[in-house]
């Protein structure tokens, strides 16, 4: 984890110095003063390298005066979206193997200085828990960044909020990156208990409690595994107030539900071997919800928010659910399970209905790596969004654009119409897959909608966005924690 600190805007004496320069702009302020001291070495190097200040562009000058290294880095145009945080990410990338550096943030507000720190820290994330043979030069080396600003106190105040979001993102990334032999349902649930220190109320439901509740579709997924399932309910009562009343109930809460399949073999409908190792992150929706609740509690959000996650492992065995089995859901509806690899919707069905019945949400959003079909349709640029509420779609879309986690609305039919007819079963109330491969992400959403009762709701299919194949923006290669920042931004509209 990179330490982010702030100081008063002034030229440091030595070390590694980062100078952001806007697109098409000359050196200014302290940077111009330094250039003068160095006999125009900086401006001359910029001219020779045809440096324009374009976002992400960088220029290295070594052993300039007392400085080990000066990095001149493009800050892009003043009106560019997410300019400050993307600058922070670019700075981390440009620093390479440096352990610490000082950044001059002249021309940026205190809030933007904090955003630079956020982008830098998010890009610097590495998961090295199981690496035992790394050479020193291969390990994450960046430890500290000092941002010098005209308003250090304001930047520190803004950073306290941004830091809570960074903690939530990193909590999610850690969960999603863990191997399934380490992170199984009970272990995942236990890790959420660590969030109690932030003021979250945590309830964990085990096998017996879920059987008593009648979570038939969730239990149908887990019954082939020796790992027992869990459901975790996380409550943050930032509007109602925690106080001493342990029975305090949330008022018009925002509810978030996550799919947590800690490993998905497909069950009896076994997946192909190639790429199955990726199914350790089939719990990314649950990981996002846990990280979001960490962020909300960490920044003391003035809302009531509930996070619910259904945690199971989907394995083939003599006790596993068979294709063709019929089970009864918590909602009382019967489900014909034709494909045991369409399991995430079975987990979500019980948790969604329980969430509505118990908490009466103002809005409800679920996240899931639900279908490969959404990747076929949208690739790795957008998550698919299905919703029964135009208002909710508008708010979520705007939040996604604001933080760079983009959503694309997909069609959804009313019950008994259009796509929904595809999941009618001849022997039960509903079947868990449609009639073929066509529209697979849509029929999955239609299934979920069958368990939504007059609640403004959105389903985010994040299968294409939960894991990145390469470094991009504030995300290093690996787990992205897609949705944490999006939903944190979304909740701010209710504070």
- What does the mean pLDDT of the chain come to? 96
The pLDDT assigned to 244 comes to 45
Q: How confident is the model at residue 370 (pLDDT cuts 50, 70, 90)?
A: very high
Reply yes or no on domain 3-150 having CATH 3.40.220.10.
Answer: yes
Other CB atoms closer than 10 Å to residue 350's CB: what's the count? Answer: 25
Q: Among this protein's residues, is 409 annotated catalytic?
A: no
With beta carbons less than 8 A apart as the criterion, state whether 483 and 405 touch: yes
With beta carbons less than 8 A apart as the criterion, state whether 288 and 234 touch: no
- In the predicted structure, residue 464 carries a pLDDT above the cut 90: yes
- In the predicted structure, residue 460 carries a pLDDT above the cut 50: yes
pLDDT digits (tens, 9 = 90+) for 282-333: 999 999 999 999 999 999 999 999 999 999 999 999 999 999 999 999 999 9
Q: Is the pTM of this model over 0.95?
A: yes
**CA 374, CA 385: separation in Å to the nearest integer?**
10
pLDDT digits (tens, 9 = 90+) for 471-488: 999 999 999 999 999 999
**CA 363, CA 150: separation in Å to the nearest integer?**
40
The pLDDT assigned to 242 comes to 61
Give the distance between the most distant pair of CA atoms in the chain: 84
| 383-419 residues labelled b (16+ CB within 10 A) or e (exposed) | bbbbbbeeebbebbbebbeebbbbbebbebbeeeeeb
With beta carbons less than 8 A apart as the criterion, state whether 309 and 286 touch: yes
Question: Would you give the distance in Å from CA 273 to the centre of its chain?
Answer: 27
| Residue boundaries of the structural domains of the chain | 3-150, 164-492
Sheet with 457-461, side-by-side order of all strands: 201-205, 230-237, 304-314, 254-264, 363-368, 457-461, 383-387, 407-409
What's the whole-number mean pLDDT along residues 121-146?
89
Task: Return the percent helix, strand and coil in the chain, to nearest 5.
Answer: 35, 25, 40
The pLDDT assigned to 137 comes to 72
- In the predicted structure, residue 248 carries a pLDDT above the cut 80: no
Q: Is 468 exposed, middle or buried (0-12, 13-18, 19+ CB in 10 A)?
A: middle
Over pLDDT 90: what percentage of the chain?
A: 94
- In the predicted structure, residue 246 carries a pLDDT above the cut 80: no
The pLDDT assigned to 127 comes to 95
- In the predicted structure, residue 403 carries a pLDDT above the cut 70: yes
What is the number of alpha carbons within 13 Å of residue 219 lying toward its C-beta?
17
What's the whole-number mean pLDDT along residues 102-128?
97
What's the whole-number mean pLDDT along residues 222-248?
86
* H-helix segments, 214-250: 216-222
Name the token pair of 53: 């200040």
Sheet with 100-104, side-by-side order of all strands: 3-8, 144-149, 100-104, 15-22, 67-76, 58-64
Query: Which of the two residues, 227 and 137, has the higher pLDDT score?
Result: 227
Given the residues 230, 345, 395, 485, the one annotated as active site: 345
With beta carbons less than 8 A apart as the criterion, state whether 146 and 6 touch: yes
The pLDDT assigned to 188 comes to 98
Lowest-confidence pick of 16-20, 214-218, 414-418:
414-418
Given the residues 69, 271, 333, 421, the one annotated as active site: 271
Other CB atoms closer than 10 Å to residue 140's CB: what's the count? Answer: 17
The pLDDT assigned to 243 comes to 47
Topology (CATH) of 164-492: Aminopeptidase (3.40.630)
Q: 461 pairs with which residues across the strands?
A: 368, 384
What's the whole-number mean pLDDT along residues 67-79?
96
Q: Among this protein's residues, is 345 annotated catalytic?
A: yes
With beta carbons less than 8 A apart as the criterion, state whether 230 and 185 touch: yes
Over pLDDT 70: what percentage of the chain?
A: 99
The pLDDT assigned to 19 comes to 97
Q: How confident is the model at residue 158 (pLDDT cuts 50, 70, 90)?
A: very high
**Please, what is the end-to-end C-alpha distance for the chain in angstroms?**
29
Name the token pair of 472: 């991009």
* H-helix segments, 38-146: 41-48, 83-95, 110-123
The pLDDT assigned to 216 comes to 98
Q: 464 pairs with which residues across the strands?
A: none
* Helix H or strand E encompassing 59: strand 58-64
* H-helix segments, 312-403: 344-359, 373-378, 390-403
Task: Kindly report the backbone phi and psi dihedral angles of residue 479, in degrees, each rounded to the nearest multiple of 5, phi listed first.
Answer: -65, 130
Q: Is 79 exposed, middle or buried (0-12, 13-18, 19+ CB in 10 A)?
A: exposed
pLDDT digits (tens, 9 = 90+) for 210-222: 999 999 999 999 9
With beta carbons less than 8 A apart as the criterion, state whether 124 and 170 touch: no
What's the whole-number mean pLDDT along residues 201-207?
98
Q: How confident is the model at residue 436 (pLDDT cuts 50, 70, 90)?
A: confident
pLDDT digits (tens, 9 = 90+) for 160-184: 999 999 999 999 999 999 999 999 9
């Amino acid at each position: 984890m990179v330490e982010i600190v702030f100081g008063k805007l002034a030229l440091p004496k030595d070390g590694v110095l980062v100078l952001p320069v806007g697109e098409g702009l000359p050196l200014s302020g302290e940077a111009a003063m330094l250039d003068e001291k160095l006999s125009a070495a900086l401006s001359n190097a910029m001219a020779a390298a045809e440096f324009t200040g374009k976002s992400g562009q960088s220029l290295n000058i070594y052993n300039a005066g007392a400085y080990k290294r000066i990095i001149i880095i493009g800050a892009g145009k003043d009106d560019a979206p997410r300019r400050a945080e993307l600058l922070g990410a670019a700075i981390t990338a440009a620093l390479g193997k440096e352990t610490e550096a000082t950044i001059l943030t002249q021309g940026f507000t205190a809030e933007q200085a904090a955003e630079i720190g956020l982008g830098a820290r998010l890009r610097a994330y590495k998961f090295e828990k199981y690496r035992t043979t790394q050479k020193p030069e291969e390990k994450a080396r960046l430890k500290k960044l000092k941002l010098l600003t005209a308003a250090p106190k304001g930047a520190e105040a803004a950073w306290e909020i941004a830091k809570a979001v960074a903690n939530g993102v990193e909590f999610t990334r850690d969960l999603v990156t863990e191997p399934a032999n380490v992170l199984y349902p009970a272990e995942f649930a236990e890790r959420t208990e660590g969030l109690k220190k932030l003021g979250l109320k945590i309830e964990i439901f085990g096998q017996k409690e879920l059987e008593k509740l009648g979570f038939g579709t969730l239990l149908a997924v887990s019954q082939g595994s020796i790992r027992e399932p869990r459901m975790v309910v996380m409550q943050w009562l930032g509007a109602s107030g925690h106080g001493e009343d342990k029975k305090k109930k949330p008022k018009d809460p925002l509810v978030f539900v996550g799919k947590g399949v800690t490993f998905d073999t497909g069950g009896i409908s076994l997946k192909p071997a190639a790429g199955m190792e990726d199914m350790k992150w089939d719990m990314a929706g649950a990981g996002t919800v846990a990280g979001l609740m960490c962020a909300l509690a960490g920044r003391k959000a003035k809302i009531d928010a509930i996070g619910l996650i259904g945690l199971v492992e989907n394995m083939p065995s003599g006790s596993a659910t068979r294709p063709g089995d019929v089970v009864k859901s918590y909602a009382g509806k019967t489900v014909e399970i034709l494909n045991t690899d369409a399991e995430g919707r079975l987990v979500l069905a019980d948790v969604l209905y329980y969430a509505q019945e118990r908490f009466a949400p103002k809005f409800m959003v679920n996240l899931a790596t639900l279908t490969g079909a959404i990747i076929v349709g949208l690739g790795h640029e957008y998550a698919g969004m299905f919703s029964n509420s135009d208002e909710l779609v508008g708010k979520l879309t705007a939040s996604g654009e604001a933080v760079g986690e983009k959503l694309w609305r997909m069609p959804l039919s009313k019950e008994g119409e259009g796509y929904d007819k595809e999941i009618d079963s001849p022997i039960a109330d509903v079947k868990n897959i449609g009639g073929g491969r066509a529209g697979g992400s849509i029929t999955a959403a239609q299934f979920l909608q069958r368990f939504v009762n007059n609640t403004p709701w959105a389903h985010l299919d994040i299968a294409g966005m939960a894991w990145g194949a390469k470094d991009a923006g504030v995300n290093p290669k690996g787990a992205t924690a897609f949705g944490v920042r999006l939903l944190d931004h979304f909740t701010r509209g209710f504070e």
